[in-house]
Each structure stands twice: as structure tokens, then as C-alpha cells.
Structure 1
Amino acid sequence: MPRTDSPQGANASVPPSAAGGRDGLAALLGLVPTLRVLAGLAIAALIIGGLYAGRTILVPLALAFLLSFVLDPLVVRLKRIGVPRLAAVLLVVGATLSVLGVTAVFVTNEARVLSEQLPQYQNTIRKKLRSLAQQLRAPGMFEGAKRTLDIVQSEVEAAAPALSGSSGARRRAVQRVEVQEPQLSPAQQALAAFDALKRPATDAGLVLVFVIFILLDRVDLRDRLLRLLGGNLHRATDAMDEAGERISRYLIMQLTVNVSYGIPMALGLWAIGVPGAFLWGALAGLMRFVPYVGAFVAALFPVTLAFAVHPGWSLVLWTIGLIVVLELISNNIIEPWLYGASTGLSILSLIVAATFWATLWGPVGLIMSTPLTVCLLVVGRYLPQLAFLDVLLGSQPVLDEPTRIYQRMLAGDPDEAIELSVAQVEALRGDVPAFYGQVALPVLRMAMGDHMRVATPEHRLRLFQGMDELLDDLQEQYPPPPPVAAASESGHGPVVCLGGKWELDHIAARMAAHALALQGWPAQTRAFGPLTAEHLEGLALEDAQVVCLVWMSPEPAAAARHFCRRLRRRWPHVRIVLALWGELLEPGGVQDDAQALGADELTFTLAQTLARIGELQGLELRRAFEEAPIPRDDAARVQALRASGVWDNEALRQLCLHTTKRAVDIFDVQQAMVSLVDAEMQRPLCSHGRLAPPGVTEAEEEEALRAGMPRALSPCAHVVAARRPMAVADIGRDARFAGNPVLHARGVRFYAGAPLRDAAGHVLGTLCLLDSRPRAFDPRELRLLQAMVDDLAASWRGSGVAAAPVPRPPPPAPSATVGQVVP
């Protein structure tokens, strides 16, 4: 009897109508992605068509919105001093129109004066053009080629048939006809001028009306836009705030840059003697609003005029030199200084956007291309449905370095992956262990996540071969130094690094061995394989003192416990460090987990692994953390801290406590504190919340907080030295703090701090946030933390504390050679 549980038998038992309906439903479901793409393309085409068809009204409206971004800050300032909004809007618009009118009158007068002077330069222009024509007709390097072409042309014409000659004669006999347009009367000329100015005047009037009403109804328009952006009020508010901030900053800074370019241009042209200097300066400032081509168009006019009015070439060279110098100063000094941060758009997206908007809306679209594209970028950043706009238009890298290296490995291009890796090592100042911990291990984590889901055998082979080539190259470029003296004197054998189960574990074990060897401790790897008696016999761990067992699997507990038990039974003297690098485990109960798994130490990062192995061997390895640097003016800073009197002011302590309580609630962290950094120690002025490290009571933690921590181990000291906010998303995965014993003992995994300054600008300490869980902390949150610290510092200064005068340090001694101050 045939089997009925086969796929054919199962299908045979289904009625044809049901099978056909199921197949049709599957076919329709398969078409859903295609239909979505087609629907998106259709919607995009409709939007582009609407933008082009409605440009008559959309262009003035867009110009009005952009102008409102520039004028609204002035209106807000007038409102703050008590001016009603209607009066403030009228004042700002009137002042703007006055400035534009004065500028237009000035430019018109300069153009009239220049037009009156141009006939005086006709002889110079004629002589210059005749001289150029003579130089072009003079024998040159291509004269021989020209003669050869003339001979060939004459021979071809001589060999042509007579018919062509006769037709040529007829063509030469044709007379030219010149069509002269009739002269217009004054009335007709006035009507023609009115027709030419009617469209610009109408657009200007519409822009003026739109600007006034947008400034008057800004709050209502904001509410309506928030309603249109969707139900997530937080996300919509952030999108509008960021778009308004970026566009306002861009337009105001662009205006400042153009003015700072146009005025020196006018003065420079006037100094070297170019006619109409102030007209060309105004034109240069105006044309720089047009991306890319505006500066070249503005430079064309003064260079051409300098060529025409001066018999020699010196004026042309002076003009070109002035323009080049101003461009270099503006592009490399003025713009980076004033802009501070870019618009967030990539160069390619700026070029494409300029072409797109210029095609739709003409020159006005070219001027507005950057602000409009910034709006699209912000919308794509905050609306998930349009996230592709952020990817296409943004200047931020869409792939981090681990992902780029991983992708090149999958593509079978290990050479480029090695180049990227070497560049990262050089960026880390040759710190190969830091590269392994921050870049290479994330590559292995991605590979482990894709190993059983999407990776094909070919992809796995490329990855394994590429990682082997990468490690071989790094070991060749960065060979380990000779073993430390303590290693040879102690009689200990080398550290043996073993991969747990997979090929990826073995690659990670090679990284650990190389990192240990670079720190002066001999380390080796052994071949990995199935956990059999033959494999264990081949490990030969009799001389080993420490075994580092590396595991990249996301669920290694059962297999790691079995491996550790077999190692412990075969070599009881071996100290086992179990490195679980494939998953970020929650802190707490680390020692209990290590004992339960049969290991002596349990680590989650490469830096922790290096530190624990060093402790087990009793060696003085290189520190697995970075000590806080000491700033140059630290003596004056410490003196200002001691003279401030903050330690003895209970009112200030209560104020700081209120700030820390608010910080815990706002940022949703476990602990916040105000810390002051002295010459040797960091001590908290107040704190709120508790980290609850394992095995530590609340009283013991409070006692440890009051005792403070050494400045060299303090993250707050890094903030004091850098004088800017700092956020560490994961202490355990940051090379600066991963091996910090104090942070490890307290279970700190997240840190963020902002500097607390006194009236003289000295950084006395920080307001810091601590948590036992890693977390992301974006730049907006960091700016908010700094704003809270600034408010706290303002309250301090308002109470008269932290503003004590600080004696100035004595001036440096004069040099014994020339009597100048020694720097």
C-alpha cells in the first residue's frame, strides 16, 4: 500500500479547488513586496509631478518658510523684552525690507555708475582683443598640423566632381538677409518692462504676505504640523526641533559667511582699482547662496572687467589672487568656525539635491536645495516609514567598521578587510588588543549570529579564511616583544588559549593569545576539535598554569561547564579563565556563575580577560585601563576648588541633591552624583540612588562612596581633563575602563558625566550618571546633561559660592638668552 504521509499523498487528499485557492493566496502574498515598491514609486512620481505643477504657489511659500526661520529668532527676542507679537513681526519685517531696499538702491547706483564708465574702456578692450587675436594667429606648436590639414582639404576639394562645384557656386551666390525688428515706442517699452517685472513682483508680494502670516501664526502652524506628523508626540517634537534648529543655523551662518566674504571682496577690488568694486562685492555675497556654481559666476564678472579695463595683465592677476585668497580663508577658516556642525548631508546628496530642485523650480530651487534637503533628512530620521531618506542623504556612515570588515570577508575580499583593519589599528595608535576588543570581536559576534540563520557554507569558508589571513598579517606586522622577566623567573608555563567548540571560538582564542603575547606574557593556542579523549590527550596542558577557554556561542553554559569539568578532572592544577565573548551578560553574581561553570574566573571582554589572567599569574602586566590625564592648569583648578567653600555649605549640598534626584528620574539611571575632583582623589558631594553591587550592603556602599576613589581610576577625572561631556555606553567594552578594578568591583557598566565649572571657568567636578546595565546615550541626552550642570553651576554662582577669586600664577621666568618669556 502506498504511503499517505508523503507530500504527494497529502496534496492528493486536498480538493483541487482548495489547493488552487491556497496556491493563489501564496502567489498574492509573494507579490506584496513588489506591489509595495510599485506603490511607492507611483506616490513619489505623483509628489514630484505636484511639486512641478504647483511651483507657482509652492516656490513663494517655501521661500517664506525659509525666511521665517531667519526672522523668527528676532521676533522671539523682541517678545521677551515685552513687545507684542504683532508689533514685533511688523518691526522685524519693516527692518528687513529697509535693509533690502537700501541694498537695492546702492547696487542700482553702482550699476549705473559702472554703465557710464564702460564706454571709456572701449579702446582698451579693442586693443586687448586685437592683441589676443594676433597672438592666436601667430605661428605656434600646431602650425605644421594646420598646414597639413589645409593641403589635405585643398586636394579633396580639387578631386570633387563638377556638380558639387556648381552647387557650391550656387551656395556662394546666395545673399544674406538681415531681419530688423521694429523700434518700440516709449509706451510699448514700458509695457514690455512691466511684463518682465510682473512675475518677480508678484512672487515677492506673495513671499512678503506669507512671511508675515507665518510669523504671526507660528504656534498654530507648529501645532498643525505636529498633528500631521502622527501620534508619537515625542518623535514629532524632536523632528520639528531638529529641523528648525538645523535650518535656522544654516541660513543664519550662510548669511554671515556671505557678508564676511562680500565685504572683503568689495574692499579688495576697490583697493586694486577694479571698477564697480562694491557692486561685485554685493554680487559675490548674493551668489554664494547658490551652491557650488555661485562663487564661480560671481568671480567671472570682476575678472572679465579687470581684463577689459587694464592694458596689461597685472590687474587680472591681482583680481584672481584676491578671489583665491578669500575662497581659501572662507572655506577653511570662516565656514568651519561659524558652522561648527554640518547640515548632516553628504556631498553627493547635496549635488543631487541641487540638480533636482533646480530642475523643478529653477534658480530659486537651486538656492533652496540645501534647506529643503535638510528637512527631508530630518523627516527620514524620525519617521520609520521614510528611514531610507536618512540612509540616502545623510553624511553619517551607514556601516560601522566591524560591519564593513565583516562584509568584505563575506564578499571574498580579505585584502580590503586587512586594509580596513590596519587603518583601525593605526587609529588606535597601534593598540592591537584594543582593536581585537572593539572591532574584531564584534565581527565574530555578527558571524556567530548569522552562522545558523543565513550564512551559506561558501560564506563561512570565506570568513574563516579571511580571518586567518587577517590574524596572520597582524601577527607579522605587530610581533610580540620578548617575554617579561617575571615570566621566566616564575617557572610558569605559557598561557594556553583554547577555542570552545566552533571555528569562530578558535579564531577568538588566537586573538587572546596574540594580545597576551603583546603584553609580554608567552601564550599559545591548541588545535580545537570534538571533546574526546584523543583530543584532550593532544592538548598537552601539563606545563600550562592558566588555560583561557574562549566561547563565542550565545548559549555556552552547558557545553562550557562540561569542558571545564573535563579539563579540571584531567589537569587539576590548571587555573581556568572562561571568556564568554559572544553575549553581553548582565552583571551580578559573577563569582557564583564562575564556580557553577567550573571556572576560576569568568570574563566578558578581552580587557577583562587580560586583567584576570595577569592577576592569576601574579605578573605586572600593562594596565588594562587608562589612567586619567592631568591637565596643565590643574594646580590653579585645585586651588579654585579648595577656595570655593563647597564642602562646608549645606544649602549647596541640598541643591546638588535635588539635581541628582531629578537626573535619576529624567535619564532613568540607577545612580547620579555630583563629584568633585581634588589633586589625588575624587569625592562625591552628594548622590542619589544605589547601584546595589553583589554582596555589598547599603551601609558598605555609602561608606565606599564617602571614601571616594583615586583620581587615576576615576572616569570623572577624564571629564575634568577633557573639559567636555563624556558618555561610555558599556564600561566593560571600552578599552579605557574595562580593566578598572574599582568600577569592576562596583558593577558599573554605564557612565555619563558633564563638567561643572565655576565663574572663572575652572572645572571643579562633574554631574555623573551611573548604571549597572549598558545603555545608549545619544548626543541630545549629553547636551541635556550639560544643560543641567550649567543650571546647577549658575545656582552656585548666584549663591556666591564657587566664585571665589583665585590667585593668578606667577609669570614664567624670562629666557637667559634673549630675555623673552619662556613658553
Structure 2
Amino acid sequence: MKHMSPGEGLMVPPRPTRVPAAETPRGPLASSLIVFAIIVAGLYLGREVLIPIAIAVLLSFVLGPLVNFLRRLRLGRLVAVMVSVLFAAGIIAALSTVIGVQVAELAQDVPRYQRTIERKIEGLRTGTLGQTMDYIANINRAIHQSGNEEKENAERAKREQAARDSARKTEPEPPKPILVQVEERRPSPLELATAVLSPVAQPLATTGIVLVVLLFILMQREDLRDRLIRLAGSSDLHRTTVAMDDAAGRLSRYFLGQLALNSAFGIVIGVGLWIIGVPSPVLWGIFALLMRFIPYIGAFLSAVLPIALAAAVDPGWSMVVATFLLFALVEPIVGQIIEPLVYGHSTGLSPFSVLVSALFWTWLWGPVGLLLSTPLTVCLVVLGRHVDRLEFLDVLFSNRPALTPVENFYQRMLADDPDEAQEHADLILRECSLSAYYDDVVLKGLELAARDAARGVLTPSQKDEIRASITALVEDLEDREDGLPEPSAKSAPAVPEGSEGESACKNEPIPDPDPDDLPEAWRRDGAVVLVSGRGFLDGAATAIADQLLRKRGFGTRQVPFAEVARARIGDWNPGPAQAVCVISLALAGEPTHLRRLVSRLRQKLDTAPIVAGLWRFDDPVLSDDALRAKLGADDHVTSLRDLIETILAMARLGGPEERKRQDTATPPRQALPEPA
């Protein structure tokens, strides 16, 4: 069964509805380890009882849709449950009978298969391969003997002399053996019955426990759900019920899809082996069905015994090659093509967690634990997605990225790793436009950095490293076009297999302006003046806005905050500015600073419109019209898309002088009378 490889995606899955948990203080690490050890010990010591219960729970997810279907046919709950359980028991009994019969038939032909294997080995030994190995062995022997001939001759002479001396000695005649005849006591009927039934007693007991528990779960499903709701959190019944139903639906769909797919795989393998001529194809089809529940290696292990049997049956090698090709072709088709279409790798597990869970459950419960490892871990992950107290299970085992793309971006900036930041950007840009990447990832990452700087957790050296990394990233993306990548460019998926969610970039690409919509005055250098705020990352945000505007034909000019400070504003020359944009992350205390900066710019540019670009979305200045009006800017934008569209709209209206004439020529609108 195929599982996704790690680190392949940058999708942000929507946060599922979580069951509210009570506020409890976090215990020390030692207490957590003690609780974990107690749970593991309980799972190990109680495996004789817990294994049947686990199998029954998993079967309840498989039979649940069948019970619902029968109930929709107006059958009573008891009848629907009994029919479903008897149907499942009949299938299991039939498969067990077929396996027993097929194994018995194979056991009768083992001597013949052994002779065929021996003849093949002898043929290899006397054939070209054997001659080649003998030739290599002779060369090796000659190399070792070339320098030790005299020593070997002396040792040989000593051995011959010792053999002659031992031959002269007379050995005493061995004593004659005494014949002893042992007669066994005939077993009593009770002992005979015990010997026959003891091998099947435990499987029968396990089957009985599974059936009883399965009947109870299917009959009391709603009552069990209500009790779980009570335990998980009854303060919000709606959210908890939705979470429970969602978890049960996901598990049922996954188990049914996996069972159907593995059954189809077993049928194809069985039919293929029957066509090839391998004995007991039904047995190997069932074996392939069961082994494919084992992650990663199950499908390959299911091919070992049929290939070995083909080598034992066919005197030649054609059947072995055909059997190998059958598995080599069917498994990739099922795992790589059909499986994503059936249930989209909906295990939701990371490859590492699948491996660890397989080792853990095998150590606890043996071969049965290996078969149940993936379904049990899926149950834990689903619980972790919906119950706050168990969220660590989702973080540890699921294939969802532990960090969002924004957090990943900021983490790479903190680590001062420009190469990883570039790889991160290339991966996202396989499905996103450049402007959407800047808007939805980079600017939000800069906001996280600005928050940390405001809290005083960033050192001066870290600030310098973050600025340098951002500058290097923007320079590396200078030659990239701002548009959705071509389908051929999506060579590797940017979506993690098995995860659900929306793209990391939610915005559509910003359309390029028509050449006729951009007057010549707006193409000159310095037509759009981008002024940085005093924040340590405002310069980086300004460089990003400058890059996107230049890609659309605007003439731009970046102005650092130092050039328009109070002491130097008198010497600053705005040039042929058609519009001014002040870029700031709008941190706490910034509105006063921005108001003063806009006021100084207004004195130098009395006709050019001023746009305030503010990217901290939860700042009060963006939600309060009164505070926003106090800034004194003509317009306010909260994204690069809004900024570019606003500047483009201004360009279509012409320069400041033309807009002033239009405003003068346009008569004031008459106020409409208020309705009575």
C-alpha cells in the first residue's frame, strides 16, 4: 500500500472542528512518561482481550454502512445487525476454509517441489554459473597456494604419517546394542479430544469475543457515541457531535476503500497466478489481500512465496519471471494510480509514523498488531484532529505539515538559511503566482517577525540576518514572471497526499495592465514613490511592492525612512512623482508616526495622492474609520493586490494636474431628499 513521502506539500488544511477541552494544568514530563508506560503495559498485558476488541471496533466501521443500508430498507436494528454480522462471519469462515484446504494440498506436493529445487540448484552448479564460480575459486586458491607450497607439503606429510600410525592401532570391538521395545499407552477419548481441539481453541475463543463485542457495538452505537460525547466535551454538543460524526465517517470510508482495493488486488493476483499456472492461486490471492494491509512491505512480501513456489514447480525459469512481472506491474498500478482515485491516500499518516506504528504494534501484539497498525494509528490521528487533549497525536503521526507555509517561511528566515527559503518559495510557486506568494506567505511571515521584534525577542544580529535573507529572496525572484505556472511546471505535487485543504496561496494572480491604460508619465522612473516606514522590515516590504509594480511597467523609486525624516525632509526632492505609497506593518504606536510622516509628505507633494499600505490585519487603525482618517492618506490598502489595483486605477485617471482639472470641471452632486 502506497504512502506518501514526507515534505512534498505546502497546503494549509482547514482546521477541523475540535472538541473543547477543559483547562487543565500541564503536568511534568515525568508524570507523562509514567502515564505512557502504564498505558503501554496495559496494552501488552491485556492483549488477549484488547486484540479482539480492537478487531471488533474496526469491523464495526466496515459494517456500519451495511447496517445503515439495511435499516433504510425498513429492517429492524436487531435484524440488520444480525444479518451484517452473519454475512461478515460467513465470509471469514469461507476464507479460512479455503486457506486450510489450499495449504493441505500444497503440503502433499512438498517432496516433489523439493526435488525440483534440488535439480535446479544442481543445474546451476554444473552450468555456466557454476563453472564461473569454480573458475573464480580456482584462481583464488592458486593465489593463496603460490607462496605456501613447501609449508603445505610438510603439513601434508605429517597428516599422512599420523594417519598411518592411527591405522596400525586396533580398535576394541563395540558392544552389541540391546534391543528395547517401548509400547505407548493408548490415549483416552478426553486426551485425544484435547490434543485435537487445543490448536484451534484460542482462535475460536478470539473469534467468539470479536463477534460478541461487534454485536454490542453495532447494537449500542448511538449510546456509545453519547457516552464518548460526554467524556470528550458536552459543553458544546453541536461541535462535539459534528466531530464524532466526521471521525466515524472518515474511518468508515477509509476502511471500506482499503478493503475494496485490497480485495481487487488479491483477485487480480489470484487470476494472474492461475493463468501463469502457479499452484493454489486462490490461496495466494487471499494472502496478497491480507498482506497488503501491511504498509510499505506488505505487497512485496506477498510476492515472495508465489515466486518461490513457481521456482519449485517449473523446471525452467519462465514461470518465475512471469510471476515476478505480475507483481511488479500490478502493485505500481494499484498503488500509484488506482489508490489515489479510490480514497486519495486518506490514511493521513506520515511515512515515519507508519513505520513507527508498525514496529510498535508488532512489538505489542505480534503479527496481528502488524496487520492492525495502520488502522489503529488512523483512529488515533482522527481523534487528535478533533479532540484538543489529543492534538499531539495529530502533530506526531499525521502527514499534515507541522508548520503552516507562513510559519515555515519565518522559521527559515530565523535559521538564516537562504537556500532553504528559496527551495520553499520554488515549491509554493509551482501552484501559486508570485504576487499571491508575496501576499499570502511572505508579508504574513514579515508580520510574525515584526511581532517578535516588538516583543523584544529578536536580537540585532537576528534582525540583520532576517533583512539579508529577505533581500536575497526578493533578488532571486526578480526574473520570475507573475502568473500562474503552466501545468507542465507542476512536475511535483505541492499538495501532501492524503491531506485535505486549500492552497497556501488564496489570491488569484494580479492581471497585467493593458499598455494603453498606463500613460507615459507613469512609466518614468520615480512616477510611483514607495516610502518605507521606520520598522526594521518595512524596507523589505517596500522592495517587494517595488518589484511587482516594475513588472507591470510602472516607474518606481524606493525611499528609505531616513530620507524623509523630520531633519532631512526639507532637502528631499520628490521628483516626477505621480503617486506616493507609504509602506508599514502598522505596529502598535505606529499610527502617530505614520500620521506625521504622511503630513510631511503632504507638504512636499500637495497634489500627488498618498496611499497607506498597512499589512497588520488586526491593527485597530484598519478597522476604525476614525483612526484611518486621522492618518491623512487618500487611500488605504492591506495587500499587494489592492496596492497595485489602486495605483493602476490612479494611472488610468491621469496625473495629479489632470485629476485636479477633472475634479474642478465635475459639478457637485445634488443631495437626494431624505425619504419622509
CA distance in structure 2 between the partners assigned to 1:349 and 1:479 by the alignment: 38
- Paired position in structure 2 for 1:563: 597
AA at the equivalent of 2:199:
A
Asked whether the 8 Å contact 1:544–1:574 carries over to 2, the reply is yes
Quick one: structure 1 residues 600 and 44, their matched pair in 2 at CA, closer, same or farther if it must change by over 3 Å?
A: same
Does the 8 Å CA contact 2:71/2:77 hold for their aligned counterparts?
A: yes
How far, CA to CA, are the matches of 2:39 and 2:148 in structure 1? Answer: 56
Residue equivalent to 2:304: 300
Q: Secondary structure at the match of 1:502?
A: coil
Alpha-carbon distance, 1:87 to partner: 2.1
**Identity across the alignment (%):** 37
Amino acid at match of 1:471: V
CA contact (8 A) 2:416 2:465 kept: yes
- Name 1:707's counterpart in structure 2: none
Q: Distance in 1 between matches of 2:200 and 2:145?
A: 52
Say which of 317, 342, 353 aligns to 2:357.
Answer: 353
SS in 1 for 2:347: coil
Structure 1 242/147 Cα, relative in aligned 2: closer, same or farther at 3 Å?
farther
Kept after mapping to 1: 8 A contact 2:532/2:582: yes
Q: Residue 533 of structure 1: CA displacement?
A: 4.3
1:582 aligns with 2:613: no
- Tell me how far apart the structure 1 counterparts of residues 121 and 185 of structure 2 sit (CA, whole Å): 33
Where structure 1 has 5 or more consecutive residues not aligned to the other structure, the ranges are 1-31, 174-180, 621-695, 701-823
Partner amino acid, structure 2, of 1:455? L
3-state SS of 1:275 partner: coil
Bigger strand share: 1
Q: Contact between 2:265 and 2:334, CA under 8 Å: does it hold in 1?
A: yes
| Local SS of the residue matching 2:610 | strand
SS in 1 for 2:423: helix
Contact kept? 1:546, 1:575, Cα under 8 Å: yes
Question: Hey, what does 2:132 align to over in structure 1?
Answer: 139
Q: Which of 421, 429, 434 is 2:425 aligned to?
A: 421
Matched, 1:409 2:413: yes
Instruction: Say whether 1:262 aligns with 2:242.
Output: no
Query: In the superposition, relative to structure 1, how do residues 575 and 204 fare at CA in structure 2: closer, same or farther (>3 Å)?
Result: same
Q: Is the 8 A contact 2:64 2:252 kept in 1?
A: no
Q: Report the counterpart of residue 449 of structure 2 in structure 1.
A: 447
Query: Alpha-carbon deviation of 1:373?
Result: 1.1
CA distances 1:730-784 after superposition (whole Å, capped 9, x unpaired): xxxxxxxxxxxxxxxxxxxxxxxxxxxxxxxxxxxxxxxxxxxxxxxxxxxxxxx
Structure 2 Cα separation of the partners of residues 589 and 412 of structure 1: 35
Question: What are the within-5 Å matches in structure 2 for residues 596-745 of structure 1?
Answer: 596-618=630-652
Rounded Cα–Cα distance in structure 2 between residues aligned with 1:438 and 1:226: 37
**1:207-244 CA deviation, whole Å, 9 max, x = no partner?**
12211222222222222222222334344434432332
Task: Name the structure 2 match of 1:178.
Answer: none
Give me the whole-angstrom Cα distance separating, in 2, the residues matched to 1:189 and 1:287: 35
SS of residue in 2 equivalent to 1:138: helix
Aligned to 1:541: 574
- Residue in structure 2 matching 1:462, options 435, 460, 465: 465
Give the equivalent residue in structure 2 for 1:284: 288
Aligned to 2:227: 224
Compared CA separation, residues 217 and 478, structure 1 to 2 (3 A): closer
Match of 1:527 among 528, 550, 560: 560
1:361-510 equivalence runs, <5 A: 361-428=365-432, 431-453=433-455, 454-475=457-478, 486-488=518-520, 493-510=526-543
**Which is worse superposed, 138-147 or 390-399?**
138-147
Separation (CA, whole Å) in 1 of partners of 2:214 and 2:372: 16
Post-superposition offset of 1:325:
1.6
Give the direction of change, closer, same or farther, for the CA distance of 1:298–1:572 in structure 2 (3 Å limit).
same
Do the aligned partners of residues 292 and 472 (structure 1) sit closer, same or farther apart at CA in structure 2, a change above 3 Å counting? closer
Partner amino acid, structure 1, of 2:219: L
SS in 2 for 1:544: coil
Aligned to 2:584: 551
Offset of residue 311 of structure 1: 1.2
1:599-637 deviation line (CA, Å, top 9, x unaligned): 1111111111111111222279xxxxxxxxxxxxxxxxx
Instruction: Find the aligned partners of 1:199 and 1:576 in 2 and give their Cα distance.
Output: 83
Distance (Å, rounded) in 1 between the aligned partners of 2:94 and 2:629: 83
Letter in 2 for 1:616: M
Q: CA deviation at 1:158?
A: 8.0
Aligned match of 1:201: 204
Question: How big is the shift at 1:73?
Answer: 2.1
Rounded to whole Å, the distance in 1 between the matches of 2:116 and 2:620 is 83
Corresponding letter in the other structure for 2:390: L
Cα offset for 1:119? 4.2
Do residues 573 (structure 1) and 607 (structure 2) align? yes
Please list the CA deviations of residues 291-340 of structure 1 after superposition, one character each: whole Å capped at 9, or x if unmatched: 33332232112111110111111111111111112112211233222213
> Are residues 156 and 409 of structure 1, via their aligned partners in 2, closer, same or farther at CA, if it must alter by over 3 Å?
farther
Change (3 A) 1:194 1:182: farther
Amino acid at match of 1:38: A
Aligned-pair distance for 1:142? 4.5
| Contact 1:501-1:530 within 8 A present in 2 as well | no
Residue of 313, 327, 347 corresponding to 2:331: 327
Distance apart, 1:183 and its partner CA: 9.1
Q: 1:95 and 1:184 mapped to 2: Cα distance? A: 45
Supply the AA of the counterpart residue of 2:389. Q
Compared CA separation, residues 528 and 538, structure 1 to 2 (3 A): farther
Checking the alignment, whether the CA contact within 8 Å between 1:496 and 1:513 is kept in structure 2 is: no
For the residue of structure 2 that corresponds to 1:49, the secondary structure is: helix
Match for 1:98: what amino acid?
G
Aligned partners of 1:488, 1:218: CA distance in 2, in Å? 73
> How far 1:106 moved relative to its partner?
2.9
Q: Which residue of 1 aligns with 2:218?
A: 215
For the residue of structure 2 that corresponds to 1:452, the secondary structure is helix
Q: What is the CA distance between 1:49 and its match in structure 2?
A: 0.8
Q: Is the 8 A contact 2:435 2:482 kept in 1?
A: no
1:36 is aligned to 28
Q: Distance in 1 between matches of 2:152 and 2:250?
A: 67
Structural RMSD (CA): 3.7
Maintained 8 Å contact 1:505/1:552: yes
Query: C-alpha offsets along residues 438-479 of structure 1, whole Å, 9 cap, x if unaligned?
Result: 221111111111112122222212111111211222225569
Q: Distance in 2 between matches of 1:426 and 1:297?
A: 37
Structure 2 residue corresponding to 1:243, chosen from 236, 244, 247: 247
Q: Distance in 1 between matches of 2:587 and 2:368?
A: 56
Shift of 1:157: 12
Structure 2 CA distance for partners of 1:302 and 1:151, relative to 1, 3 Å: farther
Judging changes above 3 Å, is the alpha-carbon distance between structure 1 residues 589 and 320 closer, same or farther for their aligned structure 2 residues? Answer: closer
Tell me which residue corresponds to 2:66: 74
Report what 1:626 is aligned to.
Answer: none
Q: Secondary structure at the match of 1:566?
A: helix
Q: How many Å apart are 1:351 and its aligned residue?
A: 1.1
C-alpha contact (below 8 Å) 2:522/2:651 kept by paired residues: no
Pick closer, same or farther for the CA change 1:243–1:476 going to 2, 3 Å.
Answer: closer
Q: Distance in 2 between matches of 1:500 and 1:72?
A: 61
Kindly indicate whether residue 104 of structure 2 is the aligned counterpart of residue 112 of structure 1. Answer: yes
Change (3 A) 1:591 1:541: farther
Contact 1:542–1:571, Cα closer than 8 Å, also in 2: no
TM-fit CA distance, 1:396:
0.9
Partner AA of 1:514 in structure 2:
Q
C-alpha separation in 2, matches of 1:93 and 1:78: 12
Q: Could you tell me whether the CA contact under 8 Å between 2:523 and 2:554 is conserved in 1?
A: no
Rounded to whole Å, the distance in 1 between the matches of 2:482 and 2:93 is 72
Q: Is the 8 A contact 1:239 1:382 kept in 2?
A: yes
Correspondent of 1:514 among 529, 544, 547? 547
Report SS of the residue matched to 1:455: coil
Task: Give the superposition deviation at 1:121.
Answer: 4.3
